[in-house]
Amino acid sequence: MIVVTGGAGFIGSNLVRALNARGHADVLVVDDLSDGTKFRNLVDCELSDYLDRDDFLDRIRGGGDLPDAVTAVFHQGACSVTTEWDGRFMMRNNYEYSKILLHYCLERGIPFLYASSAAVYGGGRVFREDPQFEAPLNVYGYSKLLFDRYVRRLLPQARSQIAGLRYFNVYGPREFHKGAMASVALHFHRQILESGRARLFEGCDGYADGEQRRDFVYVDDAVAVNLWLLDHPRVSGVFNVGTGRSRSFNDVARAVIEWHGGGELEYVAFPDGLRGRYQSFTEADVGALRAAGCDVPFRDVGPGVAAYLDWLRGHGA
């Protein structure tokens, strides 16, 4: 049995679908369905069972075993709201939960593949898996960084796989439930449908209007890295998951406009609440991932956005 925490969420549900495509129907999904709308991400997935996050934690915290032997854990469950400033909640949900599950896996020799984030790098210009470049701008990024540091201390003694994936800006199917935290590709798509105008931030941090740059990653490619690690259980470490090529928000908006066959760009004032807390530039250094042998290709924004919008059209969205 394979466990996917956060399995009703964005990356988690895409991962479940990819496991199903490989013939794995023995997937235990763990999540918190307080937002019941997320069930839609699982309708076309095959599960062996579902457990509420708290029930799952109670079982593993007490040293109890799960119904079937676990062959791998994909830990995608976390609060990923970068504007959440309740640090106590964030540390319990992201840091403590992860530690409990990590030790459960280490004690049983179960591969543990978990979601980290490019938010650990903050406003820097170098995005390499090295402590000197890690300086998060928010408590979400700090919760991810602290767990990465915890993992690094344990790695030399670990006798089973531990791999952290520092996702950059992931976009694609099954993110409808994320609201304001959904990708800009989805926001631009909705804005073009509603008004014919994609709204972008005016310039900041030395960047012209809409020219802030991020490393945008199509979700299928992020999932493919997870599956590559599953196939290579001797590979452990903390790895960036990005294309290695930054693209501007203007590039994403123009890709959406091209798919729609028309539309305009509109620039809005940069929010005061984000000043000093916003990553105006990200670009993954994928050297460590490639050195580990991972040859998963990453698609560029143009074909990635087109694939996403084709999926949305096919699902009536």
pLDDT, tens digit, for every residue of 146-204?
A: 999 999 999 999 999 999 999 999 999 999 988 888 999 999 999 999 999 999 999 98
Whether 274 has a pLDDT exceeding 90, the answer reads no
User: Quick one: 262 exposed, middle or buried, by C-beta within 10 A (0-12, 13-18, 19+)?
Assistant: exposed
Q: Taking residues 259-285, what's their average pLDDT?
A: 91
List all residues 6 or more positions away from 237 whose beta carbon is below 8 Å from its beta carbon: 129, 155, 162, 163, 164, 288, 292
List all residues 6 or more positions away from 36 whose beta carbon is below 8 Å from its beta carbon: none
Q: Taking residues 76-90, what's their average pLDDT?
A: 75
Asked if 173 and 185 touch (Cβ cutoff 8 Å), the reply is: no
Whether 68 has a pLDDT exceeding 70, the answer reads no
List all residues 6 or more positions away from 185 whose beta carbon is below 8 Å from its beta carbon: 171, 216, 252, 255, 256, 305, 308, 309
What's residue 179's pLDDT? 86
What's residue 164's pLDDT? 98
In this predicted model, which residue has the larger pLDDT, 277 or 251? 251
User: Quick one: 239 exposed, middle or buried, by C-beta within 10 A (0-12, 13-18, 19+)?
Assistant: buried
In this predicted model, which residue has the larger pLDDT, 305 or 94? 305
List the single range of 18-22, 37-41, 61-65 with lowest mean pLDDT.
Answer: 61-65
Distance CA 248, CA 57 (A): 40
Rounded to the nearest integer, the mean pLDDT of the chain is 93
H-helix segments, 155-298: 184-195, 219-231, 249-260, 287-291
What's residue 81's pLDDT? 65
Q: How many CB atoms lie within 10 A of CB 65?
A: 11
Distance CA 82, CA 173 (A): 20
E-state strands within the chain? 2-5, 27-31, 49-52, 72-75, 112-117, 162-167, 169-171, 197-201, 213-214, 216-218, 237-241, 247-248, 264-268
Distance CA 214, CA 110 (A): 34
> What positions carry a catalytic annotation?
140, 178
Kind of pairing, strands 216-218 and 112-117? unpaired
Whether 79 has a pLDDT exceeding 80, the answer reads no
What's residue 272's pLDDT? 84
Asked, colleague to colleague, whether 2-171+218-244+283-299 and 178-213+246-280+307-314 share their fold, the answer is no
pLDDT, tens digit, for every residue of 101-152?
A: 999 999 999 999 999 999 999 988 999 999 999 999 899 999 999 999 999 9
| Confidence bin at 80 (pLDDT 50/70/90) | low
Q: Taking residues 301-310, what's their average pLDDT?
A: 98
What's residue 87's pLDDT? 79
> Looking at this protein, which amino acid is placed at residue 165?
L
pLDDT, tens digit, for every residue of 206-231?
A: 899 999 999 999 999 999 999 999 99
- Name residue, tokens 């509109």: 266
- Which class is 178-213+246-280+307-314 in CATH? alpha beta
Q: How many CB atoms lie within 10 A of CB 32?
A: 17
CA 315 to chain centre: 22
List all residues 6 or more positions away from 315 whose beta carbon is below 8 Å from its beta carbon: 173
Axis-axis angle for helices 249-260, 301-314 (nearest 10): 50
Whether 262 has a pLDDT exceeding 70, the answer reads yes
What's residue 61's pLDDT? 85
What percent of the chain is predicted at pLDDT more than 90?
A: 82
List the single range of 11-15, 64-68, 150-154 with lowest mean pLDDT.
Answer: 64-68
Sign of CA dihedral 237, 242, 245, 248: negative
What percent of the chain is predicted at pLDDT more than 70?
A: 96
CATH no., domain 2-171+218-244+283-299: 3.40.50.720
Distance CA 312, CA 152 (A): 39
What's residue 93's pLDDT? 81
Distance CA 52, CA 35 (A): 12
> Looking at this protein, which amino acid is placed at residue 302?
G
| Confidence bin at 90 (pLDDT 50/70/90) | confident
All structural domains of the chain with their residue ranges:
2-171+218-244+283-299, 178-213+246-280+307-314
